[in-house]
Structure 1
């Protein structure tokens, strides 16, 4: 259930009749067996229609057949461990999926029926997904662990990722006069589904676009992201260079955008670090070097130095700019837990690096912004660095990534172990 319902796709199916009905000949003949559970030609045809309606990127008969095979394996795996989807769980899943289109389950089912899709197709799709979540929870959840080090690395990557503020777009605007909206939408969907290269998109723009940029293959000059309509910004920033948007119906036209390039700037403070470290004044460089060689971390310094010296240890958490130059230079060469020596005339300072982290991640007074599905969040001042994930949201994202990969691996194992044959 990874695809969001697309009202655009639903309109296209209903308006253009893009999916032809299956031949009545051998309509219910099996096309493949999955551990002796038959998948019929009719089921494949119905799943193709359903995939079209929910806006799946691949709605071919081959994709529909594979999806049905996987659903059979999911249901069989659930039965093997005694998982059953209750009527209440099924209804909740139906409502949740339909809610993505702003509909309740009954209204969505009625829309499907008008597109020639039986209600059972929707129910079976949701039931397989609901059962599979329970299988994954039972078999894989205990195996997934996320370490603090993994969270630190992911948070660092998020903070150091530039904020996109400029984009290079190409546009393709297909006229949609009254009565021809369905044809325009169908054409736009065919272009988008072909995953065109920049050259192919430019050729399509020259052929079909109805605006002056068509002569230049739809190419636009560099645009500030803030200059785009607010509703368009998340659509554009969700693209990677070389990708095209889904068709965007507007009054009198259907629009496609192709992202040629995206540029950004570093968040304020992204390169600034906050260090936590210890210092201990020592009588000589020799004494400091000896203690440094025995020390295996910040907490260990108190043990190695002994009670009397421990009372002189200072522990600080400050930004790089606030650290004295000689100490900052020595800390720069240390990894977390390492100790070093800073000469101070005849005496010395023993320094131990406890941790270093981006200044943005160390801010205490923060606002957070959740990213849907991915779960990446960070604690940062909203006025200075919007969109940085919180540690908890980073952990959620890493967990989701791991659990999804494990679920894909489990499904692959089920395929490998299954007897899948054709009549």
Structure 2
């Protein structure tokens, strides 16, 4: 459960009435056992309210029970590995989580208690998370590796992804007058959980939305992303067409947005390439073609050329800086392929060594270059503005792999666990 409560969201949620457990019978009776560790009905009721305050997308009893089962599994595995959470580590974890709502831990705890959520619920949630970090650190992180090729591919994808400039949205504004905030949030969560189609979202907007757009199924006109409130932009930019945002708390309402479409432009230099290539002037096209046929790579070209290898000119340049005839030949080549430019009285053997997006070339070590200075790389590399550096991208990929492996481990633990009901 990673959704975090904002200062606005928690202040709106604080006006909710006192929490009434859904369990009519003894709420402290076990509902499910996870490796002989009980989960009670009261814990489930409390977790539901906690998840609602955090703005989780799905806050029904099944989701709350599943979340508690996962926490039991996390704690069980940590104990099996001898990992214990000290009071100091727990305090740091509580402060860290509360800071995401721009609060201290005592302020956050007081806000939760005012909304009917006990301190122990928050404590157990954070303790399970801290213990799970220890499991991941010991069991998974040593096995994670991010290669240079993976970093290059991820950066290439960023470069080739258009920067969104306009969006086509639908909105659904659910009234949340004082005393009815809980019901409005529950309705919003149920709509999000249903993963509505465009037609279903439009029907919900016509039925529930208090905005004028409700009569048109919530549909809005194209809007420039820069015209949206700064706090809303990352929410919208985080959506793919067809996705619905998590419920957003505003004064007197809960708002949903559905992204119908988006438009964007490629960043400057996205199509520009840096080519590492070699040329060798020979006396005839047939001689050049013969050498090209024998050479398997740029490194092999030096071997096959023999004494003529001293005349090989290898360089790195942007496409716009390469002579037209040679650039035309290079356009159709893959790495380590060669072609011939016939001038009649002489010919050039042209071999492509590598092809790279110019925006990926952040320093000389990232681009194959000649040994001699100057090699022209600096002039060929355009402005890096807007592109993550390699260190940041490597960290993103590392964290993504860690999350995927952690989720897989949790599923494995669940499959191996003894989960039973009374």
Q: Same fold (TM over 0.5)?
A: yes
Name whichever of 409-418 and 183-192 sits farther off.
183-192
Give the Å deviation of 1:175: 5.3
- Whole-Å Cα distance in 2 between the matches of residues 135 and 258 of structure 1? 37
State the partner residue of 1:359: 358
Partner of 1:410: 409
Q: Deviations over 1:209-259 (max 9, x none)?
A: 444433322222222222323333222222222233344444565543332
Contact 1:6/1:55 (8 A) holds in 2:
no
Structure 2 equivalent of residue 149 of structure 1: 149
Matched, 1:214 2:214: yes
- Change in Cα spacing, 1:98 to 1:166, as seen in structure 2 (3 Å) is same
Is 1:76 matched with 2:62? no
Q: Which residue of 1 aligns with 2:168?
A: 168
1:311 maps to 2:310: yes
Residues 158-187 of structure 1: CA deviation (Å, up to 9, x unaligned): 111111111112233455667776766665
TM-score by length of 1: 0.85
8 Å contact kept, 1:9–1:52: no
Residues 147-166 of structure 1 deviation map (CA, whole Å, 9 limit, x = unaligned): 22222222222111111111
Match of 1:381 in 2: 383
List runs of 5+ in structure 2 lacking aligned partners: 365-380
Q: Which SS does the other structure have where 1:311 is aligned?
A: helix
- Are 2:225 and 2:233, in contact at CA under 8 Å, matched by a contact in 1? yes
Q: Secondary structure at the match of 1:402?
A: helix
Is 1:335 matched with 2:301?
A: no
Q: Helix, strand or coil: the match of 1:109?
A: helix
Tell which deviates more after alignment, 341-350 or 117-126: 341-350
User: Given that residues 8 and 250 in structure 2 are in contact (C-alpha distance below 8 angstroms), is that contact kept between their aligned partners in structure 1?
Assistant: no
Structure number with higher relative contact order (C-alpha < 8 Å, ≥ 6 residues apart):
2
Structure 1 distance, partners of 2:265, 2:37, is: 55
Tell me how far 1:98 sits from its aligned partner.
0.7
- 1:133-159 Cα offsets, whole Å, 9 max, x none, are 221222222222222222222222211
Residues 55 and 246, structure 2, Cα contact 8 Å, conserved in 1: no
Instruction: Compute the displacement of 1:67 (Å).
Output: 1.5
Alpha-carbon offset, residue 96 of structure 1: 0.9
Q: Kindly provide the CA deviation profile for residues 268-300 of structure 1, in whole angstroms up to 9, marking residues without a partner as x.
A: 322221211122223444443444344343344
Cα separation, partners in 2 of 1:254 and 1:24, compared to 1, 3 Å: closer
Is the partner of 2:311 in helix, strand or coil?
coil
Distance 1:90 1:264, change over 3 A: same
Deviation for aligned residue 1:351? 2.6
Q: Is the 8 A contact 1:12 1:186 kept in 2?
A: no
What residue ranges of structure 1 are gaps of 5+ in the alignment?
366-378
Specify whether residues 246 and 42 from structure 1 end up closer, same or farther in structure 2 by C-alpha distance, changes over 3 A only: same
CA contact (8 A) 1:363 1:380 kept: no
The SS at the match of 2:85 is coil
Offset at 1:101? Answer: 0.2
| Contact 1:244 1:256 (C-alpha < 8 Å) held by counterparts | yes
RMSD, matched Cα: 2.9
Residue 318 of structure 1 and its aligned partner are, at CA, apart by 1.3
State the alpha-carbon separation in 2 of the partners of residues 215 and 94 from structure 1: 45
Alignment correspondent of 1:368:
none
Counterpart of 1:399 in structure 2 is 398
Q: Secondary structure at the match of 2:15?
A: helix
Contact residue 185 and residue 254 of structure 1 kept, 8 A: yes
The whole-number CA distance in structure 2 between the counterparts of 1:12 and 1:237 is 24
How many residues were matched structurally?
Answer: 406
1:66-87 alpha-carbon deviations (Å, 9 max, x no partner): 1122112212222222222222
Asked if the contact 2:188/2:247 (under 8 Å) is kept, the reply is: yes
Given the superposition, is the C-alpha separation of residues 30 and 172 from structure 1 closer, same or farther in structure 2, using an over 3 Å criterion? closer
Per-residue deviation at 1:95? 1.0
In 2, are the aligned partners of 1:34 and 1:419 still within 8 Å (CA)?
Answer: yes
Distance (Å, rounded) in 2 between the aligned partners of 1:181 and 1:77: 38
Partners of 2:18 and 2:336 in 1: CA distance: 64
Conserved? CA contact 1:28–1:40, under 8 Å: yes
CA distance in 1, matches of 2:51, 2:178: 27
Q: Does 1:90 align with 2:79?
A: no
1:422 alignment partner in structure 2: 421
Report the CA distance between 1:303 and its aligned residue: 4.2
> Could you tell me whether the CA contact under 8 Å between 1:5 and 1:98 is conserved in 2?
no
State the Cα distance separating 1:7 from its structure 2 match.
4.5
Partners of 2:105 and 2:166 in 1: CA distance: 40
Contact 1:12 1:185 (8 Å CA) reproduced: no
Instruction: State the secondary structure of the residue aligned to 1:357.
Output: strand
- Residues 216-295 of structure 1: matches in 2 within 5 Å? 216-250=216-250, 254-295=254-295
